[in-house]
Amino acid sequence: MDNMYDKVMESTKYIQSKNNLKPKVGVVLGSGLGDLIDVIEEIEYISYEDIPNFPKSTVIGHQGRLVFGKINGVDILAMQGRFHYFEGYTMKEVAYPIFVMKQLGIEQLILTNACGGINTDFQPGTLMIINDFINLVSDNPLIGVNDERFGTRFPDMSEPYKLDLIDKAKNIANEMGIEYKEGVYAGFMGPYYETAAEIRMIKNHGADAVGMSTVPETIAANYLGIDVLGISCITNMATGIQKHKHSHERVVETAQKASVNLSKWVAKIIENMN
Ligand code: HPA
pLDDT confidence of residue 31: 80
Average pLDDT over residues 249-261: 91
Phi, then psi, of 189 in degrees rounded to 5 = -75, -35
Contact by Cβ (8 Å): 125, 254: yes
Residues with CB under 6 A from ligand 1: 114-116, 193-194, 210-212, 235-236, 238, 251
**Whole-number Å distance between alpha carbons of 102 and 93:** 15
- Of 212, 215, 253, the residue with max ligand 1 atoms within 8 A of its CB, to mutate for a pocket test, comes to 212
Tens-place pLDDT, residues 201-216: 999 999 999 999 999 9
Nearest to 39 by CA among 261, 274, 273: 261
238 marked ligand binding residue: no
What counts of helices (H) and strands (E) characterise the chain? Answer: 6, 9
213 marked ligand binding residue: yes
CA of 137 to the centre of ligand 1 (A): 15
- In the chain, the amino acid numbered 95 is A
Tens-place pLDDT, residues 130-139: 999 999 999 9
Average pLDDT over residues 49-59: 87
For residue 274, pLDDT over 80 is answered with: no
CA of 191 to the centre of ligand 1 (A): 9
Atom 3 in ligand 1: which residue has the minimum CA distance? Answer: 211
**Whole-number Å distance between alpha carbons of 143 and 13:** 26
**Whole-number Å distance between alpha carbons of 127 and 113:** 10
Fold for domain 4-271? Rossmann fold (3.40.50)
Q: What are the structural domain ranges in the chain? A: 4-271
CA of 196 to the centre of ligand 1 (A): 12
